[in-house]
Amino acid sequence: MGIRDFIQYLSEHRERLSDGRELSEAERGEILREAETMVGMMDAAVRQLESVMKNRRVNLPEEHALRFAQDVFLYLREEEEKVKVQARKTAP
């Protein structure tokens, strides 16, 4: 799964939660499962990037690129966490 996939899923989750209709239990469960998976994958990516920075010598441009990637994943994780909260609130 690439970064574009993460962004697409996040967009789909937000759309499904905000379109005004009540979600079925199955739809809510699907969104929560996908969001949990995405959050877990983003957490793993952030940890891996941090490990690379700590355990190997990187030059400044590489470090900037790694930190940028971390920031992107942290932002997406925060946004997907908001989706999870919203999905739980819509429970019947």
Can you give the residue range of the structural domain that contains 20?
3-89
Amino acid at 37: T
pLDDT digits (tens, 9 = 90+) for 3-49: 888 899 889 989 988 887 788 889 888 989 999 999 999 999 999 99
Q: Give the mean pLDDT of 84-89.
A: 86
Angle, helix 3-18 to helix 60-89, in steps of 10 degrees:
20
CATH number at residue 35: 1.20.58
Distance of CA 88 to the CA centre of its chain: 16
**Cβ within 8 Å of residue 28, ≥6 positions away:** 87, 90, 91
- Asked whether the predicted pLDDT for residue 75 surpasses 90, the reply is yes
Q: What pTM, to 2 d.p., does this model score? A: 0.79
- Asked whether the predicted pLDDT for residue 61 surpasses 70, the reply is yes
Number of independent structural domains in the chain = 1
